[in-house]
Chain A
């Protein structure tokens, strides 16, 4: 218990979390602090590039094994199934319509890459060396949940989703996925030699860039919460906290079954616990325009993201450490 508290305290006083809290506080205080849109996009490109490349280099070092393939498959299956659990919970705990509940559920089967990056940073700080291919697992978990959400609407709703041909292509070729997977493959091909060439760029500034990005995320989450407080019912708020814990339990079971390292289990838990706020909202606006965006954005960005960042990741780390003997 003391260990868990120490991990939680260390996490809460790390620069990345404090900058996030600064952003949330500034938004609530109605400060005019903002990160220009183009700079925020540049920061996210840097983070995706760095995390993808490092993951690829790690796979080049450790080689490909069946666990990698099984992890990818397990990630895909989780992403398909978690929305069904989320939908069932939402219909039981809240008064959301089928369409709103399905749209929210889709977000909870997909992942938040920033939460993944933060968990990777926490794992590394705790002395763990997670499997590099978890980056690829993150990439494959982005899209299946969207299909699940649309299936839920087709199965339980009175209308069908607008599943046009171009949507699947847009989801799969989403810029974040292309960059993450592309950097992963390049890191895999070039290995340590490639890493030595660009290490000063992707290792040294990484934590500082992450701090700035999380400051921006804090501002966005704080403003979203401030403007959408009316949307948040007690049931929705509870869902935003319970669902990541349930998702993390599935991630934990999967990670343990696959025999991943403590860091790998932590990342699987984090991926299953996190909710998308970039790829899935855009897909939902196209496929389910009747769904209320303020519900799913407020939940994923305003509740689940801060929860995972501040309390969730330390809990997942403590559980992963305890159950893997790490």
Chain B
């Protein structure tokens, strides 16, 4: 099966920032992404869990995008403008996709 090189960018960010992040992705012409719920975790700001959340203040989401390698920098620039001051993790990994024309 023919595969094509791509980059997957995972951004774990506070739930209250989700719409701001996805708006920034759209403005960088990244229209394909998936938002996933995140159950629990621990980091520099301490432990947290989705269980027992009464608002969106403490919850996190994972915004995952797969793009062509040349589109990673504009994506990261747009995402970093949103996540810079906030709790979160941004990671980039190499991946392969089957239908390159979709990315």
Using Cβ atoms and an 8 Å threshold, which residues of chain A touch B14?
Answer: 285, 289
Most buried by A among B45, B50, B55: B55
Q: Could you count the A-B residue pairs with CB atoms below 8 Å apart for me: how many are there?
A: 56
Choose among B46, B51, B58, B86 the residue that contacts A289 (Cβ–Cβ < 8 A). B86
Bound complex: CA A309 to CA B43 (Å): 32
Q: Assuming the A-B contacts A34-B51, A220-B52, A227-B47, are A285 and B85 also in contact, with contact meaning beta carbons closer than 8 angstroms in the complex?
A: no
Residue with the greatest number of chain B CB neighbours at <10 A, chosen from A37, A44, A279: A37
Q: A193 interface residue, CB < 8 Å from B?
A: no
- The smallest beta-carbon distance between B21 and chain A, in angstroms, is 12
User: Closest CB of chain B to A145's CB: distance in Å?
Assistant: 15
Binary per-residue interface labels of chain B (6-49) against chain A in the complex, 1 for a CB within 8 Å, 0 otherwise? 00000000101100100000000000000000000000011100
Contact of A227 among B46, B54, B85 (CB under 8 A): B46
Contact B57 A293 (CB under 8 A): yes
Is B98 an interface residue, CB under 8 A from the partner? Answer: no
Q: In the complex, which of the residues A162, A216, A285, A292 contacts B57, with contact meaning CB atoms closer than 8 Å? A: A285
- Separation in Å of the B59 CB from the closest CB of chain A? 9
Query: Given A162-B85, A289-B86, A293-B58, is A37 in contact with B16 using a C-beta cutoff of 8 Å?
Result: no
Specify which of A216, A223, A278 is in contact with B55 (CB 8 Å cutoff): A278
The answer to whether B55 touches A279 (Cβ under 8 A) is yes
Once the chains bind, are B55 and A281 in contact (CB under 8 Å)?
yes
Q: A227-B46, A227-B47, A281-B58 known; A289 and B85 CB under 8 Å? A: yes
Cα–Cα distance between A50 and B40 once the two chains are bound (Å): 32
Query: Contacts A162-B85, A286-B16, A289-B85 given: A278-B57 contact, CB under 8 Å?
Result: yes
Give per-residue flags for A276-288: 1 if the beta carbon is below 8 A from chain B beta carbons, else 0: 0111011011100
Q: Write out the residue numbers on chain B whose beta carbons fall within 8 Å of the beta carbon of A40.
A: 54
Q: Which residues of B contact A228 (CB under 8 A)?
A: 46
**Which chain A positions have C-beta within 8 A of B56?**
282
Contact of A278 among B17, B50, B54 (CB under 8 A): B54
Give 1 or 0 for each of A26-42: 1 = CB within 8 Å of chain B CB: 00000000100100100
**Does residue B70 face the partner (Cβ distance < 8 Å to A)?**
no
Contact with A along B48-84 (1 / 0, CB 8 A): 0011111111100000000000000000000000000
Residues on A with C-beta less than 8 A from B16 are: 282, 285-286
Residue of B nearest to A174 (CB): B55
Q: How far is the CB of B90 from chain A (nearest CB, A)?
A: 15
Pairwise interchain contact A223-B57, C-beta atoms closer than 8 A: no
- What B residues does A286 contact at CB under 8 A? 16-17, 20
Q: Is the CB of B57 within 8 A of A37?
A: no
Residue of B nearest to A230 (CB): B46
Q: Within the assembled complex, what's the spacing in Å between the Cα atoms of A81 and B17? A: 28
A102 to B54, CA, bound (A): 22
Give the docked Cα–Cα distance between A59 and B52 (Å): 35
Given A37-B50, A282-B57, A284-B57, answer yes or no on A293-B85 (Cβ-Cβ < 8 Å): no
> Looking at the complex, which one of A37, A277, A282 makes contact with B51 (CB distance below 8 Å)?
A37
- Is B100 among interface residues, defined by CB-CB distance under 8 A? no
Residues of the A chain whose Cβ atoms lie less than 8 Å from the Cβ of B58: 281, 293, 297
A61 at the interface (CB under 8 A from B): no
A90 on the B face (CB < 8 A)? no
- Of A219, A277, A290, the contact of B85 (CB 8 Å cutoff): A290
Q: Are A294 and B46 within 8 A (Cβ)? A: yes
B54, A223: Cβ atoms under 8 Å?
A: no
Chain A contacts for B20, CB-based, 8 A? 166, 286
Q: Is the CB of A220 within 8 A of B47?
A: no
Pair A281/B57 contact, Cβ less than 8 Å: yes
The residue that B54 contacts in the complex, of A34, A220, A289, with Cβ under 8 A, is A220
9 examples of A-B residue contacts, CB within 8 angstroms: A34-B52, A220-B54, A278-B55, A281-B57, A284-B57, A285-B14, A285-B17, A293-B58, A297-B58
